[in-house]
Amino acid sequence: MQDTAAAAPSAILDYVTSCTLPTPWAQFTLHAFVEHGTGKEHLAMTLGDLAGAPPLARIHSECLTGDVMFSQRCDCGAQLEGALKRIADEGRGILLYLRQEGRGIGLVNKIRAYRLQEAGADTVEANLQLGFHADARNYELVLPMLQRFGVEAVRLMTNNPRKIAALEKLGIRVAERVPLLVNRNAFNNGYLDTKQAKLGHMMTPLAEPALDGEL
């Protein structure tokens, strides 16, 4: 099991314990944290030695319908699997699993939002109609969780510029953005298009560097 040196106590959450977690791609170490204000349990999955060069990282918000129930209405489950596969392929990295379902509005309200979407609203409009922000997630927990492992900079797997800005505001350097474009399908086209049009998500692959002599 990976050695996790003791870190200073956090004002917003406590580290509790760790165990090994075998997956189809690698044997990770699973770490449990409890948030003071809400009692929510958040997780980190680590692989390899995180010291040195910025590790591959994913900040993943809980999506029960996508992560567990294989919903095709979003790309969340595919992003979770894709991130773990990439970390396993690289042999080192960290995934933080934050319990902020439905962009922070909770599971039942997410299902209410789904009903509004079925009546014609897009994902942003549905959240606003329910009285919530378009994206109510908060990433302040990321800092003490990464500090637990001595991680100060990451190569972040994300398409979301707000997530990059949130980490950098916390003092976590994003050394590289790694796109995570997966599972576009007939059921989530509108969802992904809304992410791009209204939330600024970067939904196109990075351009390949030009070879010498190419324009």
Name the maximum alpha-carbon separation found in the chain: 58
For position 182, what pLDDT does the model report? 76
Tell me whether residue 155 is annotated as binding: no
Of the candidates 86, 137, 148, 177, the residue annotated as catalytic is: 137
Residue 189 pLDDT more than 50?
A: yes
Q: Residue 31 annotated as binding?
A: no
Say if residue 58 carries a ligand binding annotation. Answer: yes
> How would you classify the pairing of strands 56-61 and 153-157?
parallel
| Residue 141 confidence class, pLDDT cut points 50, 70, 90 | very high
| 137 has catalytic annotation | yes
**Alpha-carbon distances, residue 55 vs 125, 154, 197 (angstroms):** 36, 5, 30
- May I ask the CATH architecture of the domain 13-100+139-187? 3-Layer(aba) Sandwich (3.40)
- Residue ranges per domain, the chain? 13-100+139-187
Q: What is the pLDDT of residue 215?
A: 41
Query: Which one, of 93, 117, 113, lies nearest residue 103 by Cα?
Result: 113
Q: In this structure, what token pair is assigned to residue 207?
A: 């351009």
Q: Known binder of ligand: residue 19?
A: no
Phi, psi of 136 (to 5 degrees): -100, 15
Q: Which residue has the tokens 């791609």?
A: 25
Reading the block at residue 141, the tokens are 């927990």
Residue 101 marked in a binding site: yes
Q: Which of 86, 122, 135, 177 is catalytic?
A: 135
Question: What per-residue confidence (pLDDT) applies to 62?
Answer: 95
Annotated binding residue 38 = no
pTM: 0.86
Task: Print burial letters for 138-156: b (CB count within 10 Å at least 16), e (below 16).
Answer: ebebbbbbbebbebebbbb
Instruction: Look up 162 and say whether it is catalytic.
Output: no
pLDDT score of 191 more than 70:
no
Confidence bin at 89 (pLDDT 50/70/90) = very high
Q: State yes or no: 65 annotated in a binding site.
A: no
